[in-house]
Structure 1
């Protein structure tokens, strides 16, 4: 990774130095209720890592008042009731055995050079260097169409291909599913908790102590502990994203559905946007209305928007080419995410269990998103 200085090297060196020899479990890395400085068992570097030479333009929260009592430490809670984990069963592979065998045979008879060249090109797009943290907002017109699934797939893809810190942030309602899809077994600190204690003096190692480490790399910040409570508000969202983007090269935000206020704010302020559209006539119609709204925003938001056309059933009557052409009309690229048995099963996403077509489509989606995110200065 080159370009934009050596902040990537400095950030990763700081994190590596601080975590060598430490317990990698989420419970062992949980910080105390208030920790503006690095903990005693972590080596604090001489300077604070940042994505670029300029600080974030918005005002940052002030340090906690030492005369006030520290906020209570949240209790660590499981993302899935232990009584239900046994009901998940074994994960299915995205492709059937016959499909996998047929694909292997076709790859033997087809030209592999062109496929490798395309994969290399997409990987280079995903790995584009950035000088300031990029925020990618993912939303949809209604729930249940795969919005959190697409956010999780993007977070995992950026984690896999990039060599700098990546954050997947949940800005959905109190009962969002992103932590489950990302494979988090427990959650403790949420957006509202971090908004109360984050300060400019914090190092990357301080911040990651409040996050959930993801198995495939990167970090996760949930919106809640899975309990019904006060929804995430716009002020909390702005505080958290503006404070954290200086530590992470890419932040993928799983927004609430439109027209929620947090979703509108996220779509308006992000560097790139993904609108997840279900493969139905009403889904395509509603998504087109969202694209028309984005086209009216004063800062050309439509130019940095990508549509993920999601097939949630194995048999759909809607013609994908006609649907994509209707959504491409405003000049927005459309990436088809085919039906995948593993994703349809629910529960944690295992990258190795995804169908090859799904993995290829996800990398293509990440490349389209990153290409547009780097355009914004």
Structure 2
């Protein structure tokens, strides 16, 4: 406290006490970090202030309150993310190493303005009360200090964007330079999920580090052998064509069994032979089951064209046990299987049987075969007006028509297409495959170009099967022993058939 004698109390900028008997605060001000209070006391003649060396006049007292420096506002503390909001995946993009803010280093916030003003008024009132008790005796003393405002341990930050304010004891805030991406499993779309069948060798293995298979072809294999199996230039042209043709035949067929009848209006053109060749080419390249049914009402020869066990079973036996079939083992006891895995159901060969194979018999056989086979080929026999033909055409998914390389044989084959178009099978006729089978050696007398052009205008595809001495002999056909041209023609026929069936299913 500092006493000051003012010559003119009215000129004092801090004010003058109105009554000598009371002591009031003339003025209170805060300068920077110091609270200053000035008090003016009137002088009395009978006062004993003179004994203490106080000059006449008014006495001014300055109250200095130190240590009111207010702490700086703390830095904003980011809201810590909830743990359950980060569920499945956290993607961190180029994190920057930065020390997290320790809990003890968070400074306390500045006290509210009302609290500071209230503390200043209490300090000034206590001082003035003591000054009034002494009346005019003001001893020289050190400047009094105002009581320090208590520092709150936990303060709150100003609200921003209507978000909750974190306390000083909250968890350390995460780094602001980290990008977090989280998705729950339920939020992932079905298009983003992958099944196990997508983990294929072509996708996962590096083709440059995978050893190529041994090449096929004359020069390719010779170069591979001479280089000590180090130089592999791949398959030759013929090997590539053969593998591509195999892939066409082996293409999957969705849905149930497909029925393919092979028919002609004239005997001796090679209908049974074409049925056997087509079945062998399909069974040799495909993984599913293929069966050829001899539905000739009379004595058929399809079973004689394939290697089979001499068990004497026929379609008549399958018709007899159709209600007792419980699995494929019941079927395998009746059919014959050759080296290509083609199953053949022979016709009834007993000459003492008076009843021919009928329409109902064929439907019973077809119903059982559809449960265990993907492709059912049918050798319909000679003619198209017998009793089995109606059921055969009703179930047909694709038709194969066989023609010989003579004028009358070609004309009868073309009339077969006309009959189909006139009897409600126009679409099957347009989608049919015509096979030009050469059963005699040498150059045919007819012009093959003109014959192919005629059938190409009426059917979807035309295939020519060349002469083969093994087939002409009339014995058992071994597919691996056929001429390369014959095997290629049979495989081309099988590929066209599968492509036609897939096109209809699309």
TM-score, with normalisation over the residues of structure 1? 0.66
Aligned residue in 1 for 2:247: 124
Aligned residue in 1 for 2:42: none
Work out the CA distance in 2 between the residues paired with 1:236 and 1:345: 32
Aligned residue in 2 for 1:253: 378
Aligned residue in 1 for 2:429: 302
Measure how far apart 1:277 and its partner are. Answer: 0.3
Instruction: Describe the SS at the equivalent of 1:241.
Output: helix
Unmatched segments (≥5 aa) in structure 1: 1-103
Tell whether the 8 Å contact from 2:435 to 2:465 is kept in structure 1 after alignment.
Answer: yes
Aligned residue in 2 for 1:312: 439
Aligned residue in 2 for 1:244: 369
Residues 228 and 128 of structure 1, relative CA distance in 2, 3 Å threshold: farther
Residues 320 and 187 of structure 1, relative CA distance in 2, 3 Å threshold: farther
Work out the CA distance in 2 between the residues paired with 1:126 and 1:338: 20
Largest Rg, 1 or 2: 2
Instruction: Describe the SS at the equivalent of 2:382.
Output: coil
Measure how far apart 1:264 and its partner are. Answer: 4.2
Work out the CA distance in 2 between the residues paired with 1:214 and 1:234: 27
Unmatched segments (≥5 aa) in structure 2: 1-217, 223-234
Aligned residue in 2 for 1:197: 321
Q: Which sits farther off after the overlay, 115-124 or 240-249?
A: 115-124
CA shift digits 1:186-217 (9 cap, x unpaired): 24222122112213862122222222232331
Residues 200 and 371 of structure 1, relative CA distance in 2, 3 Å threshold: farther
CA shift digits 1:158-208 (9 cap, x unpaired): 111011111111111432111110122524222122112213862122222
- Which of 280, 284, 304 is 2:410 aligned to? 284
Work out the CA distance in 1 between the residues paired with 2:311 and 2:268: 22
Residues 332 and 249 of structure 1, relative CA distance in 2, 3 Å threshold: same
Work out the CA distance in 2 between the residues paired with 1:150 and 1:118: 23
Q: How many residues in Structure 1 have an aligned counterpart in Structure 2?
A: 270
Say yes or no: does 1:214 pair with 2:341.
no
Residues 367 and 144 of structure 1, relative CA distance in 2, 3 Å threshold: same
Aligned residue in 1 for 2:400: 274
Say yes or no: does 1:231 pair with 2:359.
no
Say yes or no: does 1:167 pair with 2:291.
yes
Q: Which sits farther off after the overlay, 364-373 or 121-130?
A: 121-130
Say yes or no: does 1:327 pair with 2:455.
yes
Aligned residue in 1 for 2:276: 152
TM-score, with normalisation over the residues of structure 2? 0.50
Residues 273 and 331 of structure 1, relative CA distance in 2, 3 Å threshold: closer
CA shift digits 1:274-303 (9 cap, x unpaired): 111000111111111111222342571124
Instruction: Describe the SS at the equivalent of 2:490.
Output: helix
Work out the CA distance in 2 between the residues paired with 1:265 and 1:276: 19
Say yes or no: does 1:176 pair with 2:303.
no
Tell whether the 8 Å contact from 2:270 to 2:402 is kept in structure 1 after alignment.
Answer: yes
Work out the CA distance in 1 between the residues paired with 2:250 and 2:417: 27
Considering only aligned residues, what root-mean-square deviation do their CA atoms show, in Å? 2.4
